[in-house]
Homo-oligomer: A and B are copies of this chain.
Amino acid sequence: MEKPLSPRSAAKRTAMLDAAQACFLESGYASTSVDEVATRAGVSKATIYAHFASKDDLFGAIICRRCDDQAEGLSSLSLPDSSDARTILTAIAQRLMALFVSPEVMGIYRIVIAEAPRYPELAKTWYEAGPLRGKQRLCDVFDDMKRRGLLDFDDTRRTVDAFVGMLRGECFHRVMIELPPNPHFSAEATIETAVNFALKAFAPTA
């Protein structure tokens, strides 16, 4: 399956993928032209078609590469070694929020949502490699906190789902549709509200 590429080819391939990613995330799939990608990558259009069968194929390669990055980023995510529920939940929420509103993640999120009806397999690949794997990891953390008596809840997956959902509020939406931020719904305020909420709802019955 692996074909040994010359160093020169590999570099061009990376340049093409980088350029394509930037174009797709900026302008969406349909509005991006292969000419534009070629120019940005410093190669000719024919070179792109020597590496990728079609524009669709190039698009798929981008999403898959992003999925690999996501998987890597998640496994290197470290949490504070604390025995205070608030400290741990706040750290989790801060990392999640920073991830959600980062330009790269936001860009891929936008385009996957937009193109999901026409690329269902790509959307599935992305969702399983990113959000689903991330939530699985959070489940492990929550289960561990439960075991240590820091939290109490019934269904781990639903609990995590609700906690993560609380971070996708006004603040997140404003970034997503590029509206100016509302100070009342800053990232910090959203995180604090979610953590307070979770601590009250999941506090162990003393």
> Residue of B at shortest CB range from A131?
B173
CA distance A184 to B136 in the complex (A): 14
> Residue of B at shortest CB range from A111?
B114
CA distance A120 to B175 in the complex (A): 12
Which residues in B have their C-beta under 8 angstroms from that of A185?
157-158, 161
Residue in contact with A169 in the complex, picked from B111, B165, B173, CB distance below 8 Å: B165
Q: How far is the CB of A123 from chain B (nearest CB, A)?
A: 4
CA distance A27 to B162 in the complex (A): 31
Q: Does A2 contact B (CB under 8 A)?
A: no
- Chain A binding surface, main DSSP class: helix
Q: Does A30 contact B (CB under 8 A)?
A: yes
Q: Does A201 contact B (CB under 8 A)?
A: yes
Give chain A interface residues in 76-126, CB to chain B under 8 Å: 110-118, 120, 123-124
- Number of interface residues, chain A, beta carbon within 8 A: 51
Which residues in B have their C-beta under 8 angstroms from that of A177?
112-113, 116, 120, 123-124, 127
* Inter-subunit contact A127/B193 (CB<8 Å): no
Residue in contact with A165 in the complex, picked from B27, B112, B127, B165, CB distance below 8 Å: B165
CA distance A26 to B202 in the complex (A): 41
Q: Does A21 contact B (CB under 8 A)?
A: no
Q: Does A61 contact B (CB under 8 A)?
A: no
Which residues in B have their C-beta under 8 angstroms from that of A53?
none
Q: How far is the CB of A82 from chain B (nearest CB, A)?
A: 22
A188-202 near B? 1/0 per residue, CB < 8 Å:
011001101110111
Contact A190-B111, Cβ < 8 Å, known A117-B26, A127-B179, A173-B131: no
On A, residues with C-beta under 8 Å from B are 26-31, 110-118, 120, 123-124, 127, 131, 135, 155, 157-159, 161-162, 164-170, 173, 176-179, 184-185, 189-190, 193-194, 196-198, 200-202
